[in-house]
């Protein structure tokens, strides 16, 4: 699309995302070889002095100081505005120079209201919209928001952000799968027993009740991040990594993905109670500040999916994410089938080989069964290990680079956002009807006892 962005306007500038992830990501980009000068404007509805805003930006930029980042921080401005007000938005847009990117770091419902107001206005030519996840609050609202955006600007100017697509380890899946002959032919139903995509954290709520208590583990992690990881793990090889080919391949595999049983009961959910993690005492989730127990929010969710295509028919894909667990595990695990016949006379370790692509830390492990060191007829397990590259930019830096360079490759395409909601919709419906038991686990444990 040519010309780079001249002004980046962040709506929700006083929020958690802006200071904790977005601004540090911008600093990492500005300090890299891809950094370009831009005018940064922070917008929120509170009274914030320019001095306070500069202090926020400078503190968030601190980890990656560079001459360009210092200049951008110094020239940045804060504007008080209600982003649902047409007059306020017109005033904010009037302050922009060059091509404009609007970053909606707002609660999802406020983003919808802001877009509805912007749809009644003349937008700056070539404007880019960056919309945070979750995109909409359910399938119907995601569809409605997409239809609204279609009336406002072309798809390539809409950047639906999911920072997992900016994680270099997630992108490593592409190199691993499509630049090696040894893995790709094996990744299919005749060879694979099951796939697990897991993002278990030792962190609890960490004062994020305002957002998390309305989302829960299923919407916060599985509906967006983990389904995109599934798409990259299971999609057909694209001809290129340009936006159309990559996102087309992701959309195709997600269209074929569904819950294991149509009624959504191939899922489990639980919530943590009081416990201790690494010596840190955590209260019961419902006693955390800002939590409304009536919402019945889960902090651990698991869904088993199947992909109805030639490659994957019948292979279960288990997606799980939880908070306050005793051990963090963030990886894609491919469990291969047992060999069709183990020659009689070979004994010892049985069981399948596994390929583990770990998101954090970024590593790859292929565990193999080999002949034993002592008795060669007794099998042993051995692991091939490799560290994976961490990339020059942080995940948010990578995503912002795509936005500011107007390259939608790492943006979630509109139909992909809708597919992700469509896949989890039967689970949400089953949970609303209480068709799935609501279990509990102690913080610091490995989850509900029955799950082990
Ligand atoms: P916060 O609630 O911390 O921040 C939102 C900000 O928007 C607040 O400062 C809020 O002001 C402001 N705001 C609300 N309504 C208006 C309005 N009408 N006009 C102007 N400003 C307004 O949310 P987060 O930063 O945590 O999250 C923002 C988005 O990013 C969400 O969609 C979330 O899902 C997503 N996200 C967040 C992550 C995180 O780690 N925080 C991670 C990934 C995605 P006020 O306080 O006065 O309401």
pLDDT tens track of the chain, all 452 residues?
A: 456 889 999 999 999 899 999 999 999 999 999 999 999 999 999 999 989 999 999 999 998 779 999 999 999 999 999 999 999 999 999 999 999 999 999 988 899 999 999 999 999 999 999 999 989 989 999 999 999 999 999 999 999 999 998 888 778 899 999 999 999 999 999 999 999 999 999 999 998 898 899 999 999 999 999 999 999 999 999 999 999 999 999 999 999 999 997 777 799 999 999 999 999 999 999 999 999 999 999 999 999 999 999 999 999 999 999 999 999 999 999 999 998 888 898 888 767 899 999 988 889 999 988 888 888 889 988 999 999 887 888 899 999 999 999 999 999 999 999 999 999 999 999 999 999 999 999 999 999 999 98
Closest CA to 90 of 73, 110, 106, 114: 114
By most ligand atoms within 8 Å of CB, the mutation choice from 23, 45, 396, 412 for ligand 1 is: 45
| Ligand 1, atom 48, residue with closest C-alpha | 45
In the block, tokens 């094996």 appear at: 186
Annotated catalytic residue 54: no
| Ligand 1, atom 15, residue with closest C-alpha | 110
What is the Cα–Cα distance from 357 to 197, expressed in whole angstroms?
A: 10
What is the Cα–Cα distance from 142 to 96, expressed in whole angstroms?
A: 29
In the block, tokens 């911008």 appear at: 26
In the block, tokens 């209480």 appear at: 434
Domain with CATH 3.40.50.720 in the chain: 6-132
* Chain length of the chain: 452
Structure confidence at residue 120 (pLDDT): 97
Q: Could you tell me the two tokens for 320?
A: 């799980």
CA of 189 to the centre of ligand 1 (A): 42
What is the Cα–Cα distance from 374 to 266, expressed in whole angstroms?
A: 44
CB proximity list for 132: less than 8 A, separation 6 or greater? 17, 104, 105, 106, 108, 111, 161
The pTM of this model reads 0.94
Structure confidence at residue 168 (pLDDT): 80
Top CATH class, 165-391+413-451 = alpha beta
CA of 361 to the centre of ligand 1 (A): 29
| Ligand 1, atom 21, residue with closest C-alpha | 44
CA of 397 to the centre of ligand 1 (A): 19
What is the Cα–Cα distance from 416 to 413, expressed in whole angstroms?
A: 5
CA of 80 to the centre of ligand 1 (A): 15
CATH of domain 6-132: 3.40.50.720
By most ligand atoms within 8 Å of CB, the mutation choice from 10, 11, 12, 162 for ligand 1 is: 12
CA of 109 to the centre of ligand 1 (A): 10
CA of 110 to the centre of ligand 1 (A): 9
What is the Cα–Cα distance from 306 to 310, expressed in whole angstroms?
A: 12
| Ligand 1, atom 13, residue with closest C-alpha | 12
Which residue among 39, 163, 225, 385 is the active-site one?
225
Structure confidence at residue 3 (pLDDT): 66
| Ligand 1, atom 41, residue with closest C-alpha | 17
Domain with CATH 3.30.360.10 in the chain: 165-391+413-451
Cβ atoms of 63 and 26 within 8 Å: the answer is: no
| Ligand 1, atom 10, residue with closest C-alpha | 12
Rg (CA), the chain: 23
What is the Cα–Cα distance from 83 to 106, expressed in whole angstroms?
A: 9
Residues with CB under 6 A from ligand 1: 12, 14-17, 20-21, 44-46, 82-84, 105-108, 110, 132-134, 210-211
Cβ atoms of 154 and 1 within 8 Å: the answer is: no
CB proximity list for 421: less than 8 A, separation 6 or greater? 136, 138, 139, 142, 223
Ligand 1 atom with least separation from CA of 163: 43
By most ligand atoms within 8 Å of CB, the mutation choice from 11, 13, 16, 203 for ligand 1 is: 16
CA of 11 to the centre of ligand 1 (A): 8
């Amino acid at each position: 699309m040519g010309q780079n962005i001249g002004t980046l306007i962040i709506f929700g500038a006083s929020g958690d995302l802006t200071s904790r992830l977005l601004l540090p990501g911008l600093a990492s980009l500005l300090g890299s070889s891809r950094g370009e000068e831009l005018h940064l404007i922070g917008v929120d509805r509170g009274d914030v002095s320019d001095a306070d805003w500069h202090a926020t930006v400078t503190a968030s930029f601190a980890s990656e100081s560079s001459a360009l980042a210092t200049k951008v921080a110094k020239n940045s401005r804060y504007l008080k505005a209600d982003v649902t007000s047409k007059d306020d938005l017109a005033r904010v847009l009037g302050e922009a120079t060059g091509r404009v990117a609007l970053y909606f770091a707002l609660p999802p419902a406020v983003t919808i209201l802001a877009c509805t107001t912007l749809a009644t206005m003349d937008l700056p030519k070539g404007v880019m919209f960056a919309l945070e996840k979750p995109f909409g609050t359910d399938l119907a609202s995601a569809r409605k928001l997409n239809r609204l955006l279609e009336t406002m600007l072309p798809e390539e100017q809409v950047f639906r952000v999911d920072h997992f697509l900016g994680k270099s380890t997630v992108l490593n899946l592409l190199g691993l799968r499509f630049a090696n002959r040894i893995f790709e032919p094996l990744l299919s139903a005749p060879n694979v027993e099951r796939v697990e995509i897991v993002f278990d954290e030792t962190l609890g709520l960490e004062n994020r009740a305002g957002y998390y208590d309305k989302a829960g583990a299923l919407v916060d992690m599985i509906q967006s991040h983990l389904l995109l990881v599934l798409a990259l793990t299971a999609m057909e090889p694209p001809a290129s990594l340009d936006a159309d080919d990559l996102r087309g391949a992701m959309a195709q595999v997600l269209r074929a993905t569904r819950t294991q049983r149509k009624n959504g009961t191939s899922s489990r959910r639980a919530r943590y109670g009081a416990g201790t993690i690494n010596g840190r005492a955590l209260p019961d989730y419902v006693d955390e500040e800002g939590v409304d127990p009536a919402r019945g929010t889960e902090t651990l969710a698991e869904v088993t999916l199947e992909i109805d295509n030639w490659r994957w028919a019948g292979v279960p894909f288990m997606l799980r994410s939880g908070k306050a667990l005793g051990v963090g595990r963030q990886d894609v695990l491919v469990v291969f089938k047992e060999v069709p016949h183990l020659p009689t006379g070979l004994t010892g370790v049985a069981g399948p080989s596994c390929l583990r692509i770990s998101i954090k830390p970024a590593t790859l492990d292929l565990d193999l069964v080999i002949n034993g060191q002592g008795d060669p007829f007794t099998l042993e397990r051995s692991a091939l290990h490799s560290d994976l590259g961490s990339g020059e930019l942080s995940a948010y830096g990578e995503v912002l680079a795509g936005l500011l360079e107007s390259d939608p490759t790492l943006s979630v395409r509109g139909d992909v956002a809708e597919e992700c909601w469509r896949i989890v919709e039967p689970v949400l419906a089953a949970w609303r009807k209480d068709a799935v038991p609501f279990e509990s686990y102690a913080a610091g444990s490995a989850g509900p006892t029955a799950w082990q």
